[in-house]
Amino acid sequence: MKIAALIVEYNPFHNGHLRQIKAVRKLVGANGAIIALMSGNFTQRGEISCLDKFTKAELAINLGVDLVLELPVQGVLSSADYFAETAISLIQALKFCDYIVCGAECEDVRLLQGIALAFYLFQPLIGTSLTDLENNTMQKYQLPAATALPILRRQFQTDLQAALKSGINYAEANCNLLFSPTFWPYIAPLFPQRELEAGELQTAVRHALQQPNNILAIAYYKAALSADAGAGADAGATLAAKIRILPRETGPDLQSAHALRQLITAAENSPHRLLNSLIDYLPPISLATLIKAAQKGTLMTCEKLQPALSLAIAAAGLLKDFPDSANLLPTTDFYRKLSAILPDLIAQKGSFEFAAKSLSHKGLTVANCRRKLLRQLLNLPEPDKVTLNRLCSNAQYLRVLAYSSYPGKSLLKHLSKSIDTPLIMRFSDLVQKQNYITDAADFAYQSSSDYRAANYYALLSQNAAALEQNNYPAPIKRATKRKKSACSE
């Protein structure tokens, strides 16, 4: 049985997602299986999910996925590098995936791989040391000796921070550095397109680094290289070699998830308008689910976060006056700016998006500000980079949200016998299955964060079905029309 892992958000589930699943089904074959690693009630873009994670997971199963696992919220509400590390660590824990599939705006996969290799070597993830894999990569592309790499890494980071402080945005700063006289001689061999004029290639790299799905695809490849290095993987069995990037399709029935969320926000109070706005872009079952949620009042948008954000920030600001609460709002530029717009937020004159845009600048994106605001709402302290890297690079558990009767159920049975990482079928398992693959404190921190995120979402959406209770909900099991083949194992 061929198995593919998809890294997804499904916010909302649209026609492009359905086409991706169909393409992956061709990749794995009729007897293969598709596993979706899905962000839950909050997303990497720093937004609240339109539908709760259980509803999204059920939709995914109904539309062709066989098993849905939840990406932990600590990794989800982090930058692309940590989000990718989280997803790759779960895939590594699964042990037997044949493909890792993601989408991208760029059709030139070689370009994205070249950028990822450059960042892997000169802007590595925390804890990445010189390994045989890195040395082999340097030999393959005739890059500098291992003794020179630490010096180049430090220089890259120093120059990058200086560029960001000068007001250059992150994508532009990275692109300028890659093509600078200091690094270009070492970077050039990583790009098969090096026969192009340097200026033309630089334009292509700059454009690629400005597209959100490209950035994530690069991060997945970089995280896979790092995981391979840590595991000492052979070249033929590496996670990086399993990555398949599907270029984004275009067509009259396709819209970006961002554009669809804007349509949902504009029409959320009118099921009729919602139907007319989305009918061309969503599969019928996905559209029906959104409309049903709108009718019940459980359809969520970032606009609904504003009152909760105002209350949370106001409460933290008031509590700061008490001696035991001095660290509730750290004294950084971000929180100083947050204090400045607090009156507007308390008076509900500014939306969640208003707050994020007001706090952003060239060195801090709007999406980053949204994630910081959501962390504030969920009372999730932002760990230091070393702690966050440890949490994201080690799968504490695999949380099952939904599965198909076949092959999802068979897949789960096989997983339970073959993997070391705990399979969490319902929230009570987090108490009963504490195997502590890495560390008890990390397990507790991760599980409590997911618990808090789920229940806060249920509170905001007034949706009891989204609650994480002791034994409820168990994963959603959906019968499928596919039957077990005599040749499938």
Q: Which helix (H) or strand (E) holds 393?
A: helix 385-393
469 belongs to a structural domain: no
Residue 328 pLDDT: 44
Binding residues for ATP: 7-20, 103, 213, 248
**Tokens in use for 185?**
């001689």
Q: What percent of the chain has pLDDT over 70?
A: 80
| 199 and 183 together in one domain | yes
**Tokens in use for 267?**
């029409």
| 262 and 186 together in one domain | no
Residue 85 pLDDT: 95
245 belongs to a structural domain: no
Residue ranges making up the domain that contains 298 = 257-302
| 292 and 334 together in one domain | no
Show which of 287, 302, 317 is a domain's final residue.
302
165 belongs to a structural domain: yes
Show which of 324, 356, 378 is a domain's final residue.
378
- The Cα 203–Cα 182 span in angstroms is 19
Show which of 348, 378, 408 is a domain's final residue.
378
| 201 and 122 together in one domain | yes
Give pLDDT < 50 ranges for the chain.
235-236, 318-329, 471-472, 485-489
411 belongs to a structural domain: no
**Tokens in use for 132?**
């045989």
Residue 476 pLDDT: 64
pLDDT digits (tens, 9 = 90+) for 61-115: 999 999 999 999 999 999 999 999 999 999 999 988 999 999 999 888 888 988 9
Binding residues: 7-20, 103, 213, 248
Average pLDDT, the chain: 83
pLDDT digits (tens, 9 = 90+) for 315-353: 655 444 434 433 444 556 776 777 677 677 666 566 788
Instruction: For residue 95, give the amino acid letter.
Output: K
Exposed, middle or buried by CB within 10 Å (0-12, 13-18, 19+), for 285?
middle
| 113 and 164 together in one domain | yes
| 293 and 372 together in one domain | no
193 belongs to a structural domain: yes
pLDDT digits (tens, 9 = 90+) for 363-409: 778 898 899 889 888 888 778 888 888 889 989 999 999 999 889 99
Which string of DSSP letters, residue by residue, matches 80-146?
HHHHHHHHHHHHHHH---SEEEEEES-S-HHHHHHHHHHHHHHSPPTT----HHHHHHHHHTT---T
Say whether pTM exceeds 0.85.
yes
Residue partners of 402: CB distance under 8 A and separation at least 6? 54, 57, 58, 60, 61, 67, 68, 408, 475, 476, 477, 478
Instruction: Count how many domains the chain has.
Output: 3
